[in-house]
Chain A
Amino acid sequence: MEQVDYAPATGVLSSIWLLVAIPLASAAILLLLGRRADKWGHWLGVLAVAASFVLGLIFFIKLGGLDAEHRSAQLSLFDFIDVGSLKVDFGLLFDPLSGVFVLLITGVGSLIHLYAVGYMEHDADRRRFFAYFNLFVAAMLLLVLGNNYVMLYFGWEGVGVASYLLISFWYTRPSAATAGKKAFLMNRVGDAGLAVGVFLMFTTVGSTQYDKVFSSVGGMSATVVLVMGLLLLLGAAGKSGQFPLQAWLPDAMEGPTPVSALIHAATMVTAGVYLIARSNPIFTANETLQLVVVSVGALTLLIGCVIGAAKDDIKRVLAWSTVSQIGYMFLCVGLGGAAYALAIVHLLAHGFFKANMFLGAGSVMHGMHDQVDIRRFGALAKPMRITWITFATGWLAIIGIPPLSGFFSKEPIIAAAFERESTWQAWTFGMAALIGAGLTAFYMTRLFVLTFHGPARWTEDNQHPHESPKIMTIPLILLAIGSVGAGYLMSTTVPDWLNPVFGEEQAEATGVLSHTVITILSILVTLIGAGLAWALFRRGTALAPEPAGIVVTAARRNLYTDAFNEAVFERPGIYLTRALVYLDNKGVDGLVNGLAAGVGGGSGRLRRLQTGFVRSYALSMLTGAMLVVGAFLAIQLGWLA
């Protein structure tokens, strides 16, 4: 394994810490000033992210000026922990990979912040919303800018907390609270994987610095690499909503729409892709590991498409499509080699067109009294011109119609999947990606047609569709321009730009199908999928879901993954808790009696609350004592025997 070295930060680049510090400071100001900042707080929030973007751009250009060999800037702020073998640096790394992420986060972030100024206008807590939003941006930047896995973990936890707060922002809706909980718990499963993975690095490498870890991958045994990679993958799958931890992402749509656009489409959910791309030396070192990543990606992309085709909630369809598109990225990073860069290209393109469509969906909801059911839309193209046109660009981009961005980013992924060395894998993953493209075309067209075309399924009595204010449409227009143009630009420049991170592109591999055939095939399935959906839905649809066959029913119920989670995780968890509470005598107090005590006060009432008897406590201690001493004696006797 080759040595990985990062050049130290010099000149302008030594102030990259400002990128994180500015939004963080803004969040702190907004939270601490409280109501006093209500009038202008949101503008401070927008300004902070925009400032980070400008700085990011300057740093990016500066970085581009360096020669490819030394195109990285590592900045060590201080020794976070430095004791004996344990050394963690509080350091940042600005290299081509983190550079593009910084631009994505702050660029798309600024637009979404701007949009949110309009979207949240009538919310009394707009200032607090922007505080959390800035906090999120700061954490996300820390995640991609850290120069070691502990820093990444900092950001990882930070975005987790911020997104939990943002999903439950509308706390009054019980569904929002439940969704926040679900997102939190499923993310924790992933986080636990990441945390153990980081500890494993400590034991095997003695460091979590990217350069040190990557340089010593060559000396590790295959098992260690596999386990480490699987743990990182678990973390990545949790954050990015990949199989088997995909269920939280669509539920997270309960949060305000700008949150869905920024966190659950453009940035946070792609953190898993970043993690794997960043850890490319680990993943490249083990073929089994790569196969697992590819399989997770392929499976998730199909699951996402199938469920997305059966949903009626405009944001949920988009959410499942996010799951599926990130599935493409996982598939792609699993392929390794030149495909890493392709995954990043798709990630960037997706950031544009998905944010565009989410904001478009928000604009539709804004004009339609927060209605989200696409069965109750239709004929909105006329009253919402700008939303319609911008959404159309997003739609054409995601289904991969040339020359929009999705075509340039997705088609190479399909081609790369067909280039796997093993023939069966090439066919399996290639076909999965290809079928996924067809399905994507189908459900996105369904969404588009049902929303903007066909007969109106709303009445003038209760709905007054209208275009959103300029502050919302301008970000839409800018994102639409990105959805149209960015793909071609990035597909040629980004892979070169990322060469220092992923290594030089290898010689063109020959797949089971030629590149031209694949291009033709993918355009063909896209057209078939889109055409089919157009034909089926151009006359509208029933206002309520009709009884359907097994497949559609299963898809409507998220392919029974929720039921599976409930049976496997939730119920045993509940029983375990109940058993523990029972053993604990008193744990139940609060659920019933505590409320009464809190309201009534008074010592007599509280005394009844105290139902734990000393004798049962003593008994539990005695049992424990017998077990502990018994265990010691058992060990001892076993040793004698």
Chain B
Amino acid sequence: MGELKLPAIDYGALAPMLILFGVACAGVLVEVLVPRRLRNVVQLSLALLGVVAALTVLIVNRNLRIVTIGGAVAFDGPTIFLQGAILVLGGVSLLLIGERSVEAGGAFVAQAAVVVGSDRDGKQSTGQPGLTEVYPLAAFALGGMLLFVAANDLLTMFVALEVFSLPLYLMCALARRRRLLSQEAALKYFLLGSYASAFFLFGVALLYGYAGGVQLSVVHDAVANPQHSQLLLYGGLGLVAIGLLFKSALAPFHVWTPDVYQGAPTPITAFMAACTKVAAFGALLRVLYVAFEGVRWDFQPVLGTVAVLTMFVGSILAVTQTDMKRLLAYSSIANAGYLMVGVLALNDSGLSSTMLYLVAYGFSVLGAFAIVSLVRDSDGEATHLSRWAGIGRKSPLLAGVFTLILLAFAGIPLTSGFTAKFAVFGAAIEGGQTWLVIFGVISSMLIAFPYLRVVVLMWQSEPGESTPAVSIPGFLTSAALGLGVLVTIALGVFPAPLIDLTREASQFVR
């Protein structure tokens, strides 16, 4: 038995994750020790402080490039950028999660374990303060996401996948209103997520058999000098990809998205749409660029087909939707398709443009869901499209902001949506994937229609009896919304600084 040797650990590189996991554990203690009426403030401040601290450490270490703890974690340009993006978007999501003034008690149920429809459920449905466990859960999820985009071997990646997925499943079930829908969404997400994880794990096993290791660099070397059957490689690549395609909501692994987005509490939907997307695509980028670069010609057509399918499923089905959250869900599916076009460019611009897109889309979608949480009646959020008719007459400012966000989704110039689409399509052409761009342009033309239809609905229709009042956003929601809009405009008009940042960050270490 040889001496057990500790691998070298660079705590600077791990610090952001450690901080968030620490905050999450502290949050669990807060639940026990702090009186109920103070918990919300304490938890929110704690979580936000954790995010800020993690971000600070990240910025301090921005020039660090290292592979640490035995090759499990890679701390490189993309890691720093994506972790930063997750932290910033996560911080904004926390603002939405923390909002308590729009609905009495907040968007979360007071006690999730109470049976739906029982007497106690009736009592807690109005007024009782929402549960605060959501903050530690969010912190765990954020920590897992940070690890997910930094994971340099497939097993660490799998662990990270589970670490951020499990809290998400729980958070989906915590809606104050329409609890059955929320619980059903959570269960579906959990079942299908586990199913997809199994694919991922099986793929890891096959790749281990092929390469004799799970580190991405080992797989890369094995691809360059094949020793074993190529069937193992392609089987493994396919299965690992499926696990990641599921989290990224790419067709045909997108089926959970509309149900879950609709059922989950809106702040959690926003969190998933913004942060999960960054994490999932971050991991996808790393796996494809670092481990499988050598077989790019083989996976490009397959994943390209997936991208085209996704873009069209998302854009065509978005046209038939009549529920705002489902519409945004399909829009997020279509956007996953555009992101995939950027990923498949498989060059430096592909990497940088995808990262740009993730940030641009993340901020816009946070803004969009923030607005969804404000349009409500006595039954909670009024998400049916017919209820949005004439909102522009009642609250022009809010409708104007939402119009801007929708125009950004539609890729209309001078918004972040145009810059981002332009960047990924440009990168794909540079990478020789013109066919993807042609389909991408056609699909983005299609999906502009449902967006603009909503714009017309809001501005051109008379408000009816049933048009809900728009709640006055609390400070937290206003801040989140303001940030979302600001970034959407800034990236549309003056995107150069962020583009520079993504380009500087576009080198993986191996």
Contacts and interface: CB of A to CB of B under 8 A. Distances in A.
Interface of A: 31-32, 34, 78-86, 128, 150, 153-154, 157-158, 161, 164-165, 168-169, 171-172, 177, 180-181, 184-185, 188-189, 191-192, 195-196, 199, 202-203, 576-577, 580-581, 584-591, 594-595, 597-599, 601-604, 606-607, 610, 612, 614, 617-618, 620-621, 623-625, 627-629, 631-633, 635-636, 639-640
Interface in B182-210: 184, 187-188, 191-192, 195-196, 199
Interface stretch (B65-73, B158-166, B229-237): B229-237
Nearest to A206: B430
Given A586-B258, A628-B241, A84 B320 contact: no
Nearest to B455: A165
A607 B178 CA distance: 9
A639 B226 CA distance: 14
A590 B326 contact: yes
Contact of A614 (B180, B191, B235): B191
Q: Which of B196, B242, B349 has the most A CB atoms < 10 Å from its CB?
A: B242
A324 B197 CA distance: 61
A191 B239 CA distance: 38
A595 B384 contact: yes
Given A81-B423, A168-B460, A577-B316, 20 more contacts: A81-B495, A86-B426, A150-B422, A164-B452, A171-B460, A202-B426, A580-B313, A588-B320, A590-B322, A603-B178, A610-B259, A612-B255, A620-B252, A621-B192, A621-B255, A628-B245, A628-B302, A633-B231, A635-B302, A639-B230
Contact of B235 (A171, A587, A629): A629
Contacts of A165: 455-456, 459-460
A84 B496 CA distance: 11
A598 B234 contact: no
Contact of A607 (B181, B385, B422): B181
B496 A581 contact: no
B372 interface: no
Contact of A603 (B116, B245, B259, B461): B116
Given A606-B181, A629-B235, A633-B234, A612 B317 contact: no
Contacts, number: 227
Interface stretch (B7-15, B18-26, B128-136, B439-447): B439-447
B252 A624 contact: yes
Nearest to A609: B181
Interface string B403-434: 00001000011100001001101100110001
B223 to A, nearest CB: 13
A155 B116 CA distance: 53
Contacts of B86: none
Contact of B317 (A82, A184, A581, A629): A581
Closest 3 pairs (CB-CB, A-B): A590-B322, A598-B384, A624-B252
A610 B386 CA distance: 19
A162 to B, nearest CB: 11
A636 B259 contact: no
B323 A80 contact: no
Contacts of A628: 238, 241-242, 245, 302, 306
B16 to A, nearest CB: 27
Contact of B255 (A82, A153, A584): A584
Contacts of A180: 456
A35 to B, nearest CB: 9
Given A594-B322, A628-B242, A83 B499 contact: yes
A79 B500 CA distance: 12
21 contacts: A32-B397, A78-B494, A81-B496, A84-B503, A165-B459, A168-B456, A171-B456, A171-B460, A181-B449, A192-B441, A590-B322, A590-B385, A598-B384, A598-B387, A610-B181, A610-B259, A621-B242, A632-B234, A632-B302, A633-B238, A636-B230
Contact of B396 (A32, A632, A633): A32
Nearest to A584: B317
Contacts of A196: 437-438, 441
B181 A161 contact: no
A612 B189 CA distance: 12
Interface residues of B, number: 96
A34 B397 CA distance: 9
A594 B349 contact: no
A150 B235 CA distance: 43
Contacts of B494: 78, 80
B148 interface: no
Interface string B444-482: 011011001001100111100010000000000000000
A181 B396 CA distance: 24
B58 interface: no
Main secondary structure on B side of the interface with A: helix
B253 interface: yes
Contacts of A627: 252
Interface in B109-124: 116-117
A21 to B, nearest CB: 13
B298 interface: yes
Interface in B299-331: 299, 301-302, 305-306, 313, 316-317, 319-323, 326
Contacts of A181: 449
A164 B252 contact: no
B126 to A, nearest CB: 14
A372 to B, nearest CB: 22
B496 A79 contact: yes
Nearest to A633: B234
B449 A606 contact: no
A577 B313 CA distance: 9
A328 to B, nearest CB: 29
A587 B117 CA distance: 28
B239 A171 contact: no
Nearest to B319: A577
Q: Which of B117, B387, B456 has the most A CB atoms < 10 Å from its CB?
A: B456
B179 interface: yes
A614 to B, nearest CB: 5
A281 B423 CA distance: 27
Contacts of A603: 116-117, 178-181
Given A157-B413, A580-B317, A598-B382, A618 B238 contact: no
A477 B195 CA distance: 74
Nearest to A180: B456
Nearest to B461: A171
Contact of B460 (A81, A158, A169, A580): A169
A601 B379 contact: yes
A621 B496 contact: no
Contacts of A128: 459
Q: Which of B253, B263, B462 has the most A CB atoms < 10 Å from its CB?
A: B253
Contacts of A188: 445-446, 448-449
B400 interface: yes
Q: Which of B246, B352, B413 has the most A CB atoms < 10 Å from its CB?
A: B413
Contact of A636 (B178, B231, B437): B231
Given A81-B499, A84-B503, A610-B259, A191 B445 contact: yes
Contact of A590 (B116, B192, B320, B455): B320
Given A86-B426, A633-B234, A192 B452 contact: no
Contacts of B396: 31-32, 34
A577 B450 CA distance: 14
Nearest to A581: B320
A32 B400 contact: yes
B256 interface: yes
A78 B462 CA distance: 41
A606 B180 contact: yes
B428 to A, nearest CB: 9
A612 B263 CA distance: 12
A83 B441 CA distance: 22
A16 B92 CA distance: 39
A503 B349 CA distance: 39
Nearest to A86: B426
A470 B334 CA distance: 52
A158 B299 contact: no
Given A31-B396, A188-B445, A587-B320, A82 B496 contact: yes
